[in-house]
Chains A and B, each alone.
Chain A
Amino acid sequence: MKHGKYRFLAMAILPALALHVIFVLSPYAQAFYLSLTDWTGVAGQANFVGLDNFARLGEDPLFLSALGNNALMLIVVPLATIAIALFLASMLNLGGRRGRAEVQGVAGGKVYKIVYFFPQLLSVPIIAVLWQFVYSPNNGLLNGFLSAVGLDGLARTWLADGSVALWAVMAVMVWSAVGFYVVLFSAAMDSIPRELFEAARLDGAGRLATFRSITLPLVRDNVNAAFVYLGIAALDGFALVQILSVGPGGPDGATEVIGLGLYRNAFSFGQFGYASAMGVALFFLTLTLAVIAMRSGRRTKVEMA
């Protein structure tokens, strides 16, 4: 039996381990090394250049605007998404008629939940192509809507106007993420005992007070997790920007993101060493984000009595 055990374990683990090492671990490890070279893709011709690539990153205007854009996305996208999702989720669960003492979800909540989740099922290219039509200056949905409600003055060439292009991209990110977090938060709120809300209701607490002192502290863990996921998504943004924006990354670097620069430097310019340095920079940004989020998560954790 002992012999059989190890034969089974080898059969169970080795194939997956081989794939993992070849396609995941070894590329990650190589990326760190490549970032210290000037490799342009010719076998055997990678010169070690130390931290030169990273010094170059600091002087690359396009990389710096990518860094700025990702930083803005990192602040705006998670905050906006979580705020909207928390609002919608708490209304779904607790926003119903308040005539009686019991607290209930809003009518039609099931249908709302189904619809809100739609974007989660669509690939980024589908979403990007869809929003090209929303933002299209002449017969796009957004400008059409604005003119229908008499706000023609607000109409823009959304994606070609450097002052709003990044906001237009971020709006799409928020649009596509909210539904998932509504469902996530709403499931967390479901597990909060109803009596807590009803007690608060009998004490005369309004919706806002109830939300602040009961709902929010008890879904805190999920909100923290949401910050991490949305933050990581905000540091990416590549697929959306690559398909949706003009350029891509334009106009004039207005929607440039780190991933786009990496892709361009590697697969258009063949600067594989330099592109790998961008990957390493992105890795450390992601890592920092995760560590900060985990720290703050531990501090604010509330145990349910």
Chain B
Amino acid sequence: MRRLGDGAIHLFMAAWAVMVAFPLVWAVLSSLKTDQQILTSPWSLPDRPHLENWARAWEQASIGKYFLNSLVVVGGALVLTMLLGSLVAYALARYSFPGNRFLYYLFVSGMLFPMFLALVPLFFVVKQLGLLGSYPGLILVYTAYALPFTVFFLTGFFRTLPNEVAESAALDGCSHSGIFFRVMLPMARPGLISVGIFNFLGLWNQYLLPLVLNPDPANYVLAQGLAALSVSQGYRGDFSGLFAGLTIAMLPVLVVYLVFQRRIRSGLTAGAVR
């Protein structure tokens, strides 16, 4: 059997890295150029950083507004998901009561179905509740769809935690909710961080749910706004503005990733190994 040379291996690995990174770097650089430069010399570096593109995308193209909408919706949904998900998971993992297993499978069954199946009825449920296009509506629906995996993951995690600390806290007269919030939740920190990272990214990048449930452009979240921007700025020929919007959307996540990269990678892959 012929051996693959070390050089060839490096070449292939570097080639894939370039394929991944180049479009991203190119988009960031293009966001700093004028439309003229983008069209006539797409490969050159910007003559100077044209940060006015960013300002235009942030204000006129409403990327700033979409960004804040995303922060509110995802922030709210993340807090609610983690709170409700850890409560349910803790109750299911540490208490025995009739219907425990049934409830566990009821929650986890939510992972079995493609979201598309629910889309039509979900639209009417949200509409009838008067929550269409509102922050609370999106937050509640995001939470509901993030819960099955959160419950699944955290139930497994709470089961692995030792009993002794909770028992002695109970002997000291600590209430059930006291044990949960003051003893078990801090002990579950590694699991909470993993599933929190997983949920944040999933919710931040959610596109299908807001597309259907959030029709008012004033309330668009970032993913929606960007898709709309690509159509409107594309017609107007404002490519630099579009690249700036793209950069504003992807840079914060990439920077946070570069800081916490090990933790984020293990958090995101932890859910996949069951």
Give complex CA distance A139, B175 in Å. Answer: 66
Give complex CA distance A287, B273 in Å. Answer: 19
Q: Is the CB of A22 within 8 A of B125?
A: yes
Question: What 1/0 mask marks residues of chain B from 159 to 195 whose CB sits below 8 Å from any chain A CB?
Answer: 0000000000000000111001000000000000000
Give complex CA distance A88, B13 in Å. Answer: 7
CB-defined contacts of A88 to chain B, threshold 8 Å: 12-13, 16
Question: What 1/0 mask marks residues of chain A from 1 to 38 whose CB sits below 8 Å from any chain B CB?
Answer: 00011111101110111011011111110110010000
Q: Is the CB of A184 within 8 A of B27?
A: no
B130 beta carbon closer than 8 Å to chain A: no
Flag the segment in A53-61, A161-169, A261-269 that touches B: A261-269
CB-defined contacts of B222 to chain A, threshold 8 Å: 123
For A, the interface residue count at a CB cutoff of 8 angstroms equals 102
Q: Is the CB of A25 within 8 A of B110?
A: yes
CB-defined contacts of A26 to chain B, threshold 8 Å: 121, 125
Give complex CA distance A235, B113 in Å. Answer: 12
Flag the segment in A74-82, A152-160, A272-280 that touches B: A272-280
Give complex CA distance A282, B116 in Å. Answer: 8
Q: Is the CB of B118 within 8 A of A114?
A: no
Known contacts A88-B16, A119-B20, A267-B212, A126 near B120 by CB under 8 Å: no
Rounded to whole Å, the gap between the CB of B128 and the closest CB of chain A is: 9
CB-defined contacts of A7 to chain B, threshold 8 Å: 176
Give complex CA distance A226, B144 in Å. Answer: 25
Known contacts A115-B20, A125-B226, A139-B38, A180 near B140 by CB under 8 Å: no
A283 beta carbon closer than 8 Å to chain B: yes
Q: Is the CB of B207 within 8 A of A113?
A: no
**Which residues of A (217-259) have their CB < 8 Å from a CB of B?**
221-222, 225-226, 229, 232, 235-236, 238-239, 242-243, 258-259
CB-defined contacts of A124 to chain B, threshold 8 Å: 205, 207, 223
CB-defined contacts of A280 to chain B, threshold 8 Å: 117
**Which residues of B (1-30) have their CB < 8 Å from a CB of A?**
1-4, 6, 9-10, 12-13, 16-17, 19-24, 26-27, 30
For B, the interface residue count at a CB cutoff of 8 angstroms equals 96
**What residue in chain B is nearest A221 (Cβ atoms)?**
B273
**What residue in chain A is nearest B202 (Cβ atoms)?**
A123
Q: Is the CB of A225 within 8 A of B227?
A: no
B45 beta carbon closer than 8 Å to chain A: no
Q: Is the CB of A113 within 8 A of B85?
A: no
Give complex CA distance A257, B120 in Å. Answer: 17
A286 beta carbon closer than 8 Å to chain B: yes
Q: Is the CB of B272 within 8 A of A279?
A: no
A200 beta carbon closer than 8 Å to chain B: no
| Contact for B250 among A4, A126, A243, A272, CB less than 8 A | A126
Known contacts A88-B13, A121-B201, A139 near B207 by CB under 8 Å: no
**What residue in chain A is nearest B176 (Cβ atoms)?**
A8
Rounded to whole Å, the gap between the CB of A76 and the closest CB of chain B is: 18
CB-defined contacts of B26 to chain A, threshold 8 Å: 133, 141
Q: Is the CB of B246 within 8 A of A126?
A: yes
B72 beta carbon closer than 8 Å to chain A: no
Q: Is the CB of B114 within 8 A of A235?
A: yes
A304 beta carbon closer than 8 Å to chain B: no
Give complex CA distance A253, B97 in Å. Answer: 53
Q: Is the CB of B84 within 8 A of A15?
A: yes
CB-defined contacts of B218 to chain A, threshold 8 Å: none
Q: Is the CB of A243 within 8 A of B227?
A: yes
Q: Is the CB of A24 within 8 A of B144?
A: yes
CB-defined contacts of B274 to chain A, threshold 8 Å: 225
| Contact for A141 among B22, B205, B206, CB less than 8 A | B22
CB-defined contacts of A9 to chain B, threshold 8 Å: 91, 95, 97
CB-defined contacts of B43 to chain A, threshold 8 Å: 144
Rounded to whole Å, the gap between the CB of B130 and the closest CB of chain A is: 13
| Contact for A24 among B2, B97, B145, CB less than 8 A | B145
Interface of A toward B, CB cutoff 8 Å: 4-9, 11-13, 15-17, 19-20, 22-28, 30-31, 34, 41, 84, 87-88, 91-92, 95, 97-98, 106, 108, 111-126, 128-134, 139, 141, 144, 175, 178-180, 183-184, 187-188, 206-209, 221-222, 225-226, 229, 232, 235-236, 238-239, 242-243, 258-259, 262-263, 266-267, 272, 275-276, 278-280, 282-283, 286-287, 290
Q: Can you give 26 contacting A-B residue pairs, CB < 8 Å? A: A9-B91, A9-B97, A17-B107, A23-B126, A24-B147, A28-B118, A28-B121, A30-B121, A95-B13, A118-B20, A121-B264, A123-B222, A123-B249, A125-B207, A126-B226, A130-B23, A130-B24, A130-B246, A133-B26, A184-B272, A206-B2, A235-B114, A259-B116, A267-B123, A279-B114, A283-B114
6 smallest beta-carbon distances between A and B, as pairs: A123-B205, A8-B176, A23-B144, A30-B121, A27-B118, A27-B121
Interface of B toward A, CB cutoff 8 Å: 1-4, 6, 9-10, 12-13, 16-17, 19-24, 26-27, 30, 38-39, 42-43, 84-85, 87-88, 90-92, 95, 97, 103, 106-107, 109-110, 112-114, 116-126, 140-141, 143-145, 147-148, 151, 175-177, 180, 201, 204-208, 211-212, 222-224, 226-227, 229-230, 242, 246, 249-250, 253-254, 257-258, 261, 264-266, 268-269, 272-274
